[in-house]
Amino acid sequence: MTTTPGSGDATAAPQYSETDFQLAIAVVTQELEEPVQHIVTLSDEELLAIEGIQHRQLSPLLWAEENLRSDEERAIAVASATRSMIARGLVTTSTIKDPRLPEQTAPDDEIAPALRGTVVARRAADWVLVAERTTSQGKAVGQFFVFDLEDDRRVIFEVFDAMGMHLFFALSFEDLAEQFWLWVDPAREIGEVDGEPEEFSAAGFSDSEKARSLGESRAASAVVVRGRGEDAELSAFTLFAKPGQVELMETEGTGDGALVRIAPISRPSLDELVESLFEKRDE
């Protein structure tokens, strides 16, 4: 999976302990009080602080990339973020003591279990579905981390944009298709009937009338799916939410000889498509 440098000398992903992975399992398998349950919201700087500025980040940190150009700027931002998490009760530290008490023993530095578990779980997912959505308000990314459990599947949904705020939610696999639809079709334009496909040569598609019409979509979402340990994407396609319908664009082949296929897709077919993305290991 593509990672984003935490600093100019950022290296490999952080190493986690067995305790960390147990915290991740607890977050993934938590009892849900609502279909899409909010876990935590973190800023770019807080993610850098939790995973370590010396490590490569899993998700793009769009705000940090734009505003924290040097290692010195990142270090200052991380220190500020850490202070903020301490104030919010997300991190406890032995260096801060209750001034009401003359002597006290304090715990070692510790990150709240839900927070630690969420960050670790992202790196332990069996699958990740990434949908980069472009609307009139700019770009935003929705990431669905799917976990294959012994007799169940669970999902962590991460949403972020150029403001650098990452919202994390827990949901069951049964609710993934609906949340994916709501993400790629924010105006709820999808129809209930599939349309006839149109085919174009990749070489001339960009100059076609169809390409121009897709450029007027309310939302365009580039979607990729990867499995654990997979360098190459398992699936890739684009969805265009237009007034009255959503169109699916798939490309076969590479280069100018590739074939571009576009067709209106219905809500039932979109649900089936999403569920089919995770079938390669169901054997």
Q: Give the pLDDT means over successive 10-residue stretches in the chain (283 positions).
A: 47 82 95 95 92 83 92 91 88 65 53 90 93 95 95 95 96 96 95 94 89 94 86 83 95 87 96 88 45
In-domain check, residue 259: yes
Of the three residues 101, 120, 139, the one that is the final residue of a domain is 120
Of the three residues 91, 120, 149, the one that is the final residue of a domain is 120
| Predicted local distance difference test score (pLDDT) of residue 57 | 84
| Predicted local distance difference test score (pLDDT) of residue 106 | 44
Of the three residues 68, 96, 120, the one that is the final residue of a domain is 120
In-domain check, residue 250: yes
| Predicted local distance difference test score (pLDDT) of residue 111 | 85
In-domain check, residue 238: yes
Number of domains composing the chain: 2
In-domain check, residue 214: yes
271 is in which domain, residue-wise? 186-283
| Predicted local distance difference test score (pLDDT) of residue 234 | 80
The residue among 136, 135, 214, 223 whose CA lies nearest residue 177 is 223
In-domain check, residue 174: no
| Predicted local distance difference test score (pLDDT) of residue 8 | 45
Question: Taking the complete model, does pTM exceed 0.85, yes or no?
Answer: yes
- Rounded-to-integer distance, Cα 244 and Cα 185, Å: 11
| Predicted local distance difference test score (pLDDT) of residue 108 | 56
Alpha carbons within 13 A on the beta-carbon side of 65: 13
Are residues 16 and 106 part of one domain?
A: yes
- Rounded-to-integer distance, Cα 213 and Cα 154, Å: 37
Are residues 104 and 200 part of one domain?
A: no
- Rounded-to-integer distance, Cα 237 and Cα 248, Å: 7
In-domain check, residue 272: yes
Are residues 12 and 115 part of one domain?
A: yes
